[in-house]
A and B are shown apart, each in its own frame.
Chain A
Amino acid sequence: MTSSAMATARSASVSAAANDPLTNVQLKYRSQAVAKPYFVAAIGLFVGQIVFGLIMGLQYVIGDFLFPAIPFNVARMVHTNLLIVWLLFGFMGAGYFLIPEESERELHSPKLALITFWVFLVAGALTIVGYLAVPYATLAKITGNDLLPTMGREFLEQPTITKIGIVLVALSFLFNLSMTVLKGRKTSISMVMMLGLWGLAIFFLFSFYNPDNLVLDKYFWWWVVHLWVEGVWELIMGAMLAFVLVKVTGIDREIIEKWLYVIIAMTLISGIIGTGHHYFWIGAPAYWQVWGSVFSALEPIPFFMMTLFAFNVVNKRRREHPNKAAVLWALGTGVMAFLGAGVWGFLHTLAPVNYLTHGTQITASHGHMAFYGAYAMVVMTMISYAMPLMRGREANSNAAQVVEMWSFWLMTVAMVFITLFLTAAGILQVWMQRMGDTPLSFMATQDKIAFFYWLRELSGVVFFIGLLLYIVSFFVRGNERASA
């Protein structure tokens, strides 16, 4: 019997017991199944993020849409906070799935992982309800922000009590995974993943320091935001991508590990001092304009290497994995991360350019494609690979995979258009508002570029349809089993 036929027979025979982790033969370690609720929650919150994105996109052109129930600033906060929270759920799920398999042993405490899940979900949900139910200032008062003021900074708007909750959840998560790694096999993938996750938790601690000096305040804020997305998150991303690629291509670990090391070295060389590209106009010394420009100009390199890495190992694959959708997500991550984070980041990273583009729709275009291409897509790569296994099959049926691939293309192409429309809006905004002899006011400029906001909203609707289709793909059964 060929291996694929065996896999087919095996997956057919276990389909009845598919959802029972105790009898799931696809999972190497039963405790990996704790990743499932994390992934489900991640997708649910992702839907919430897009709903608020659509609301806010409409508010760009119809200013009083849903006002005063959901003001723009609240919609924006919910949109960005949900993004971060669902990605964290995704990273945690990925950690719980990946670390036991790499360490070749069961998770230290699956029960703790489930408790942590519910604590995180309830805390996250309460925070979002708080954002929507009461004015932000009231929320600050209710949650005792004056005792330890941490609220009010973009992306870090969570009440202090939520932040403390996040730290506790992160500690329990890291404890659980670290104990698993320490007692088990240590691989480069698990080491890089752990380095990234520990870095994520440690840099989050800067969000508790809220100095009165605005320059210092910005430094500490960027040490969370930048050192996350242009530092340690890239390590998490590299490890997740490497893990899935090892599984679906059958390429020697040695080759994948070498790529991983070089990517990480480049990430850290360019990314740490590259933080300086946020110091241009915050009151930091002028030399940061040179340091920040030079080092951040190199930040596309690790992303480009991830693209090369993904295509290289898929081309040289030693096996045909039946989960074609996961391979598509992995390749897509490589391309879109490079475009969104690398190319669109480079567009406005040099100080003389940023002088004009700072805080315009150019920034928004980069933010959208980078977050989707790098982090949303790598989480979906992981979910795409792991979810069928947790549901008792090596891969979903062909029918389900076709739907999933449709959702991939709809979301990805829609995101390309969102980015292009925002870029166009941004270029016009810079031109009308900041260049020329008779610059327009901010709001007058916004009116002039409304056309592009409509197109962006339309692309957003397509993205949302893609996301719904993605969810549908989990429920498509299909008789025909996917084969290699």
Chain B
Amino acid sequence: MNTAAPGLVAPPRVPGDLAMWFFILAELAVFGIFFAVYGVARQRDAALFAAGQAQLLLWPALINTLLLIAGSATVAAAVRAFAANLVAAGRRYLLATLLLGGGFVLLKGWEFAGKFAAGITLSSSDFWMFYLSLTFFHFLHVILGLVIVAAVYLNARRGAYDAANHDGVETAAAYWHMVDLVWVVLFALVYVAH
């Protein structure tokens, strides 16, 4: 934190790469519009959506929420570790994020497999269309997030980051937080809200 004398304010700085923030903004816009359309469709056919939601299992989604939030915690810890020049700890936190995210992918994959086995498709009903669209679209983002964190992890293993230079870690963390944030909204909207 900059605690310089009054009048010597540090220039505003965005953590990580500015381009990533544009990207995050765009991603949030897509999800935001999708959520809004979901809300409208749900209001127009509340019974159908309630019936569909009743068929969703809450506990895997809850575990997935915890996995992603834990992943956000570890990736934030990684940024702090690199900032403090604790590069070995930073690497371990990145690895933990990968494992937590991997857990999400497995559990979610299992959930999708169950739905597909039950014959559910995008054309089954409006509810299932939204359920599959939203969760699968988010699922792809988790995978992209994992790819980004993995790339940063590999860089970190080569010793690319330290206290002076860890923009890459911040960039990856920002993206991961976005993926997490969207899931929390999605979880509340699709799984919990009745």
On A, residues with C-beta under 8 Å from B are 258, 261-262, 265-266, 269-270, 285-287, 290-291, 293-295, 297-298, 301, 305
Given the known interface contacts A258-B18, A294-B37, the answer about A287 and B133 at a Cβ–Cβ threshold of 8 Å is: yes
B133 engages A290 (CB within 8 Å): yes
Nearest chain B CB to A250's CB is how many angstroms away? 21
Residues of chain B contacted by A293 (CB below 8 angstroms): 37
A287 engages B123 (CB within 8 Å): yes
How distant is the Cα of A382 from the Cα of B150 in the complex, in angstroms?
A: 41
Q: Please choose the segment from B21-29, B49-57, B59-67 that sits at the chain A interface, where 4 or more of its residues have CB less than 8 A away.
A: B21-29
Residues of chain B contacted by A294 (CB below 8 angstroms): 30, 33-34, 37
Residues of chain A contacted by B23 (CB below 8 angstroms): 262, 265-266
- Provide a sorted-by-A list of 27 A–B residue pairs whose CB atoms are within 8 angstroms: A258-B18, A258-B19, A261-B19, A262-B19, A262-B22, A265-B22, A265-B26, A266-B22, A266-B26, A269-B27, A270-B26, A270-B30, A285-B123, A286-B123, A286-B129, A290-B37, A290-B41, A290-B129, A290-B130, A290-B133, A291-B133, A294-B30, A298-B26, A298-B29, A298-B33, A301-B26, A301-B29
CB closest residue in chain A, given B130: A290
Residues of chain B contacted by A261 (CB below 8 angstroms): 19
Is the CB of B122 closer than 8 A to any CB of chain A? yes
How distant is the Cα of A300 from the Cα of B82 in the complex, in angstroms?
A: 38
How distant is the Cα of A294 from the Cα of B34 in the complex, in angstroms?
A: 6
Given the known interface contacts A287-B122, A287-B133, A290-B129, the answer about A298 and B19 at a Cβ–Cβ threshold of 8 Å is: no
Residues of chain B contacted by A291 (CB below 8 angstroms): 133
How distant is the Cα of A265 from the Cα of B144 in the complex, in angstroms?
A: 14
CB closest residue in chain A, given B18: A258
Given the known interface contacts A261-B19, A262-B22, A294-B37, the answer about A269 and B30 at a Cβ–Cβ threshold of 8 Å is: yes
Residues of chain A contacted by B22 (CB below 8 angstroms): 262, 265-266, 305
How distant is the Cα of A301 from the Cα of B133 in the complex, in angstroms?
A: 22
Residues of chain A contacted by B37 (CB below 8 angstroms): 290, 293-294
Residues of chain B contacted by A287 (CB below 8 angstroms): 122-123, 129, 133
Report B103-119 residues with CB < 8 Å from chain A CB.
none
Given the known interface contacts A285-B123, A294-B33, A294-B37, the answer about A269 and B26 at a Cβ–Cβ threshold of 8 Å is: yes
Choose among A261, A262, A270 the residue with the greatest number of B CB atoms under 10 Å from its CB: A262
Residues of chain A contacted by B122 (CB below 8 angstroms): 285, 287
Residues of chain A contacted by B133 (CB below 8 angstroms): 287, 290-291
Nearest first, the 8 closest Cβ-Cβ pairs linking A and B are A262-B22, A287-B122, A287-B129, A294-B33, A262-B19, A285-B123, A294-B34, A258-B19
A295 engages B19 (CB within 8 Å): no
Residues of chain B contacted by A262 (CB below 8 angstroms): 19, 22-23
Residues of chain A contacted by B30 (CB below 8 angstroms): 269-270, 294-295, 298
Nearest chain A CB to B171's CB is how many angstroms away? 13
**Seed contacts A261-B19, A270-B30; 17 additional CB < 8 Å A-B pairs:** A258-B19, A262-B19, A262-B22, A265-B22, A265-B23, A266-B22, A269-B26, A269-B27, A285-B122, A285-B123, A286-B129, A287-B122, A290-B129, A294-B30, A294-B34, A297-B33, A298-B26
